[in-house]
Amino acid sequence: MLTKYGMNQWLPAAVVVLPIAGACAWLAQIGEPIWWIPAVGLCVIWLGFAAFFRDPVRRPESDDPQAFVSPADGTISAVIRVGHHEATNGPALIIRIFLSVLDVHINRAAQAATVVKIRHEPGRYLDARMAAGARVNENLLLTLRLPDGRNYGIRQISGAIARRIVCRVKVEEHLLRGQRYGMIQFGSTTELILPQPEQVTALVSEGARVYAGRTCLARLNSIDSTK
Q: Render each residue's pLDDT in the chain as its tens digit; 227 residues.
A: 878 877 777 788 888 888 998 888 888 888 788 888 988 998 888 888 888 888 999 999 888 889 999 999 999 999 999 999 999 999 999 999 999 888 899 999 999 999 999 999 987 777 766 777 777 888 999 999 999 999 999 999 987 765 688 899 999 999 999 999 999 876 689 999 999 989 899 999 999 999 999 999 999 987 665 44
Chain Cα centroid distance, residue 156: 7
Q: How far apart are CA 63 and CA 65, in angstroms?
A: 6
Catalytic site includes residue 158: no
* H/E element, 143: strand 139-145
Active-site residue among 70, 77, 158, 188? 188
Question: Angle CA(9)–CA(209)–CA(212) in degrees, nearest 5?
Answer: 50
pTM listed for this prediction:
0.86
Nearby residues of 14 by Cβ (< 8 Å), 6 or more positions away = 46, 50
Question: Measuring CA to CA, which residue among 72, 133, 135, 123 is closest to residue 99?
Answer: 72
